[in-house]
Amino acid sequence: MEQIISNPMALLVMVGLVSIACQYLAFMLKLPAILPLLLAGLALGPMTGVLDPDALFGDLLFPLVSLAVAIILFEGALTLKFSDLAGHGVMVRNLCTLGALVTWLVATPAAYYVLGMPMQLAALFGAIVTVTGPTVIVPMLRSVRPNTRISNILRWEGIVIDPIGALLAVLVYEYIVALQDAVGHTVVIFLQVVAIGFGIGSLMGYFLGALLRNNWVPHYLRNTAVLTLMLGAYAASDLMSHESGLLTVTVMGLWMANMKGLDVDDILEFKETLSVLLISALFILLAARVEFSALAQLGWGALLVLVAIMFVARPLSVFLSSPGSGLNWRELAMLSWIAPRGIVAAAVSALFALKLDALGLAKSELLVPMVFLVIIVTVVFQSLTAKPVAKLLDVRAPYPNGYLLFGGGRFARLLAKDLVEKEVPVIIADTNWDALREARMEGISTYYGNPISEHAGRTLDLSAIGTVLVLSPYKQLNPLVTYHFEHLLGKGSVLGLSPGAPEERASHRVSEDYAKKLELFSESATYGRLASLVAKGATIRTTGLTESFVVEDYRQKYGNRAIWLYAVDPQGKIHICTVSHEFELKADWQIVSLVSSA
């Protein structure tokens, strides 16, 4: 162990290995990744003394953390389209504006009077804890399964409030710096920082947007160019006006997210790969710097601040944001109960604490442990209690009986339309926009993009989805989608189309475990055959069975012209047809098949 502690290379590798292990543990346990990362950092740092980030990085620690937080804020701002404020209802808009203000106004005096923080530090703490974040909200929603309205509000609040809360925190911090640097000229310094932040941020945002929109750089350099130019703008802004860089990158992201004709999805996907190692390692390092003496210094007053944030600020912000939302008191109570803090709060607080230490602001050492305490308590407490509270309030969604269809071909659209007519929730996901455009014109819910991406994890509402049908021709992506959703929804929840004849079976080329999942409808129901039949005029028909018209009569009538898709029992429950599973069909059941014209 002493060899590891004294070897910088071994420590860096260890941080990387632990960060990946924490991410994997969170994936397997379906927990927010931030929780095991922070706990691992505490274990490696103050508990065992194995990791000392200040000794490991020395003078490089501050710039490395600064650049990592700049990336986090830039990516967060890239997800905020101003249309989302209006496009996702009155409640989301109000929670992200009025609600954030209420939280700030409650948390600030609580930290000032109870913890004895200076007012500037208390205001910064209040701004930081306004954010929730999709990385902690989404895993909780999957477990709790609140109704669709609550689920959508919480998901979009987490996405939209991240950059808004971060921007508020940055502005408060800039004011603190201006106050510390030049008493009597505070407003001038603050306005200078804001002007440079918004000015350079807007100019660089427009320049980067034009760079991408006009294809001025080759495709393979797009993501690297955006990252390096963004970091360059951050550094240049800081050189022009001390501490204006964070504001600059936030404004850049907002500008690019709302620029007409600019698609930033591929940049966001690049961030997913970057964040797994960079951001995960960052949180371990930040948590390792926390000292238990600082936690002890918080005392019992920390509990009072937590109570104020969770049981005063949150309910107050929800109920003041509710006029015009159409939500009942049970739904408002559920929204009041769930508001875990996440990645942006942890990263921004740690960076500001490093900077405030250098400025010599009193009690700045309390900022990180208090924010981390808010994160851990809100995530753990709300994860453990949200499901019982949702049951008590009777706001849980019904058992998920909906279907996610991966693949938007003509057959998939026919099947989706038939299920929608039977009032079954359906979403079609595909990376092909043309296929989805047809589905949207037919009134079917869609998701454009890779359904296993981080973006999908944040925005794709699976609260009503219980089964995934893989109907796409993408042979490389289909297995990934299958295993991803089987882990997410449970064993047997994902079915794929047969590859065809025995010599073409997937078991000859891929794992036998995956081959067993390729038994949707029948052995002859391959993607190619279904597409061919639909192209030749095949339609989906629903036929009811009676005492006088039984299964044998149905087989005799349609013969080989019909591929059985699913059956509907008298209670309206859908039973998907598969190769290995048969069910007894009786009177009052319905058979739904793809019937060819000849």
Sorted by sequence, the CB contacts under 8 Å of residue 133 that are 6+ apart come out as 158, 161, 162, 340, 341, 342, 343, 344, 345
Sign of CA dihedral 559, 560, 562, 566: positive
pLDDT, residue 80, reads: 67
Query: Where does residue 366 rank: exposed (0-12), middle (13-18), buried (19+ CB within 10 A)?
Result: buried
The pLDDT score that the predictor gives to residue 83 is 67
Query: Could you give all domains of the chain from N- to C-terminal order, each with its CATH number?
Result: 2-46+68-393 (1.20.1530.20), 402-595 (3.40.50.720)
Phi, psi of 551 (to 5 degrees): -60, -40
Alpha carbons 430 and 485: distance in angstroms, whole number = 15
Amino acid at 321: S
Amino acid at position 95, single letter: L
Triad 25, 50, 11: Cα angle to 5°: 75
Question: In sequence order, what are the beta bridge partners of 544?
Answer: 590
Helix H or strand E encompassing 480: helix 477-489
Angle at 449 between CA 448 and CA 455, to 5 degrees: 105
- Give me the average pLDDT of each 10-residue run along the chain (598 residues): 70 88 84 83 86 84 82 76 65 88 94 90 91 77 82 81 78 78 63 85 91 85 87 90 80 86 70 70 84 77 92 94 87 91 80 78 83 88 89 84 89 90 89 85 87 80 86 88 86 82 50 72 84 88 84 82 86 84 79 82
**Residues 102-125 pLDDT 10s:** 999 999 999 999 988 889 899 999
Residue in the block written with tokens 């550094």: 235
Closest of 432, 429, 424, 476 to residue 453, by C-alpha: 429
Confidence (pLDDT) at 506: 46
Residue type, 567: A
What residues contact 375, with CB distance under 8 A and at least 6 apart?
Answer: 34, 38, 340, 341, 342, 345, 346
The amino acid present at 5, given as its one-letter code, is: I
Q: Return d(Cα 273, Cα 55) in angstroms, integer.
A: 28
Report whether 179 contacts 130 (CB < 8 A). Answer: no
**Is 174 in contact with 109 (CB distance < 8 Å)?**
no
Mode of pairing for the β-strands spanning 465-470 and 402-406? parallel
**Pairing verdict, β 562-568 and 590-595:** antiparallel
pLDDT of residue 503: 47
How much is the pLDDT for 509?
A: 55
Cα–Cα dist 121/176, whole Å: 8
**CA separation for the pair 425, 192 (Å, rounded):** 52
- pLDDT at position 180: 66
